[in-house]
Amino acid sequence: MSQYTPMIQQYLRVKANYQDAFLFFRLGDFYEMFFDDALKASQELEITLTSREGGTEERIPMCGVPYHAAAGYIEVLIQKGYKVAICEQTEDPKQAKGVVRREVVQLITPGTVMEGKGLLEKENNYISSFTMFDEVTFGIAYTDLSTGESKATILTGTHEVLLNELSTIGMKEVVVDSNLDSELKKKITDRMNVIISIEENIENDNEFNNIITRLSNEKLKTTAFRLLHYLKKTQKRSLDHLQAFSEYEINQYMKLDYYSKRNLELTESIRGKGSKGTLLWLLDETVTAMGGRMLKQWIDRPLINETQIVRRLDLVETTLHHYFERQELRELLKGVYDLERLSGRVAFGNANARDFIQLKKSLMQIPAIVSLVKQLNQSEAQRLVDQLDPCEDLTELLEKSIIDHPPLTIKEGGIIKDGFHKELDTYKDASRNGKQWIAELEKEEKQKTGIKSLKVGYNRVFGYYIEVTRANVHLLEEGRYERKQTLANAERFITPELKEKEALILLAEEKCIDLEYALFMEIRETVKTYIPRIQQAAKIISELDVYQSFATVSETRHYVKPIFNNKRQIHITNGRHPVVEKVMGSQEYVPNDCLMDSEREMLLITGPNMSGKSTFMRQIALTAIMAQIGCFVPAEKADIPIFDQVFTRIGAADDLISGQSTFMVEMLEAKNAIANATKNSLILFDEIGRGTSTYDGMALAQAIIEYIHDRIGAKTLFSTHYHELTVLEEMLVQLKNIHVSAVEQQGKLVFLHKVKPGPADKSYGIHVAELANLPKELIARATEILRELENEQSRDTKNVDNREHVNEQLALFAEPTKSKYSDHERKILDELRQLNIMDMNPMQAMNSLYEIQKKLK
């Protein structure tokens, strides 16, 4: 250390405590970075890398950003997953003896962002902590620092249970102890876009008593303390807005694992990773940011308690049937700002006068909202608004104190209304009268001197002055004016009267600004005391917003109120896939019925590619989820059970990050469903087994079907291209065949998208390739090859029982048989036979056929 200058030594001492963060080190009007921070930041922020002397022969790498523009640069780093430590000067440089004292005032991380573009208004920004108490017991606590919402739960199970809950929370940062298992840490970072932070302190702290008061479990308190100590250490300011942790159990909600949420595209699309094309995108007609966040939370956690579900549905029904009241409610909600995040800014000390105007305007909407909702004449709606507190005394305070259009800054005055504070009014009057005197002085001096261009001006260095152009200086009365400053084309003067008045004006302005700032800080402290009441109002307004959103979507898209039964029956009449229907727009969507009862526990779905098998399966799951979050559903009638879990295996995608093939992903998702499903679950399996060879795939598909049918009994929709499996209807009493129909018209394939009883008669794979506009020559050759293969299979399988054929495995070392083909041709035929055409896209099929044709030639 001794080789460096005192300032660099100070930097290194501070940096030693923030090795995992960029250190923004305040030097005058800039935040500077040095050494490795400078090298990396110059690349990430695309700013100039320079250097400076630091006491050693080699110059030290350095880069910096202006302090007034730092927020934008910090935001870029946070969005890229970095942390930023803000190190400020904590003493006046003029009074410092030696190096100015500096210390870190805040550590900004992805999980502790309070403002900026990275904080999406309709998404929570959670930071979570978890503690492993043994191999199967985990405590989880999480909070959104920007809104104050805090929750905690105990989990029992494997790492997969923990990972699934963490992905459901969707946090940006996770806080753990340093002994976290490295394999688990890798799983977390591989699956979720989060950073991992370390906090060892789990001790009780009286400062947190109000936040942990509702936690009865000591394990949860331990986990919550870890998170709270981390927030206290990094934010170094009030956490008064954090709400008391609410304890929940994951069994209170429908379980949707990571794979199912991804496959069903509930809140994030598979391709674009955005919200467009998701259930959230479809249902989001919320007006407030708070309502948007609550809607996402409801979709992530559908209910399983029928009473709670019906309560929501009844409120949606009431709102739907009161069109004019609903439209008026939407207009009122447009005047409500984000009360939760406003509360967070107040507690954090970030709130400015404009935030208070937004708060006032929001609170002023509440009485009208209460009156309007009472007109609905519905008991649950009445119960909700009875808890809606307009905080009238706070509204009155803000109305009296803050001007309607205040400046952004709180340190330059111009915030407080006249009449709010007597002493402040006195200073304001002195300042205004002084400025009037200045205006009068300018007028008088022009008359006395006859100089029309004479003016009285002001700057911070010289104060008030009289400015006269050089050409007119000779017109001034000698002895009365004192020269103050010489410019290129003018002279500036002062007079004794001007100097005396200047002192009075500047003193009044200075006093005015200081007093306004002090009064604003007092008002902010008063607003802090209202935070719990504001947060309670925010929750109720959010809920009302979600109900009107559901009602608006349900009316626009002609959804119906679902009915629930305890007989485990699914009876959906003319059901639709809600998202596909919206995307299709003016095109007519083909609706389909779904009937499942004690005699139809499983549906085996066949039909050509693109016919709509996956869409049909997804719409059943989405109908169940929409019903259980309290929304109307896309059907003419929906009488369904309440599902405890939904499992899906839809689509084929390699998990390249973890090095898993399509088939391995298939098997892992199938295993998850088989291991955890109950008879009250819903399982959707789309073409299980297609990721391996034909006979392997068929054997596994049949075994899975039999296992679910015989051992689990869950409602299951199973689509397949293995037509041989349709014989299972004769052997499994609760399995029924259905198919999505298509017809040939003049040699062309036409999809009807209609689900009908019984198996499909053929696959139509080559017809689908023809629809993809593959070359006609290629299609003709594929048809010829298919005919040859079907003839050969017909000969080989003659008089062989169908079920034995399903379970048959190709021998690895089969005896060679005599054939009309040459050895070379037989090899090519074997290669062709092993191709799984149904698992190929058109381009892959064309490439494969081209290679075979080339070998034959």
User: What's the distance, Cα to Cα, between the start and end of the chain in Å?
Assistant: 76
Measured between alpha carbons, how far is 760 from 312 in angstroms, rounded to an integer? 41
The answer on whether 614 is annotated among ligand-binding residues is yes
Measured between alpha carbons, how far is 365 from 353 in angstroms, rounded to an integer? 19
Cβ(833)–Cβ(684) under 8 Å? no
Tokens coding 583: 């995307």
Measured between alpha carbons, how far is 369 from 611 in angstroms, rounded to an integer? 48
The answer on whether 609 is annotated among ligand-binding residues is yes
3-class SS shares of the chain: helix, strand, coil, % to 5:
45, 20, 35
DSSP state of 645: E
The CB density around residue 791, as the number of other CB atoms within 10 Å, is: 10
Cβ(119)–Cβ(79) under 8 Å? no
Q: Could you give the 3-state DSSP secondary structure of residue 671?
A: helix
The answer on whether 116 is annotated among ligand-binding residues is no
Cβ(147)–Cβ(102) under 8 Å? no
127 bridge partner residues: 143, 173
Closest C-alpha among 92, 538, 78 to residue 346: 538
**Burial of residue 837 (number of CB atoms within 10 Å: 0-12, 13-18, 19+):** buried
The answer on whether 651 is annotated among ligand-binding residues is no
Tokens coding 808: 């048959």
Write out the H or E segment, with its range, that includes residue 26: strand 22-27
Q: Is the dihedral of CA 510, 513, 518, 519 positive or negative?
A: positive
What angle do the packed helices 531-556 and 306-321 form, to 10 degrees? Answer: 70
Q: Is the dihedral of CA 794, 798, 804, 810 positive or negative?
A: negative
Closest C-alpha among 160, 103, 118, 166 to residue 140: 166
User: Which residue, chain included where needed, has tokens 């058109």?
Assistant: 842
Tokens coding 780: 């003709």
Tokens coding 119: 């904080």
Measured between alpha carbons, how far is 31 from 87 in angstroms, rounded to an integer? 8
416 bridge partner residues: 402
Q: Is the dihedral of CA 99, 100, 106, 110 positive or negative?
A: negative
Where are any strands of DSSP class E within 652-774? 682-686, 715-719, 735-745, 748-757
Cβ(191)–Cβ(162) under 8 Å? no
- Residue 780 vs residues 167, 650, 747, 791: alpha-carbon distances, Å: 49, 31, 12, 17
Measured between alpha carbons, how far is 104 from 234 in angstroms, rounded to an integer? 9
Measured between alpha carbons, how far is 817 from 284 in angstroms, rounded to an integer? 64
Measured between alpha carbons, how far is 810 from 829 in angstroms, rounded to an integer? 15
Measured between alpha carbons, how far is 155 from 138 in angstroms, rounded to an integer? 5
Pairing outcome for strands 150-156 and 246-247: parallel
From the annotation, which residues make up the binding site?
A: 607-614
From the annotation, which residues make up the binding site for ATP?
A: 607-614
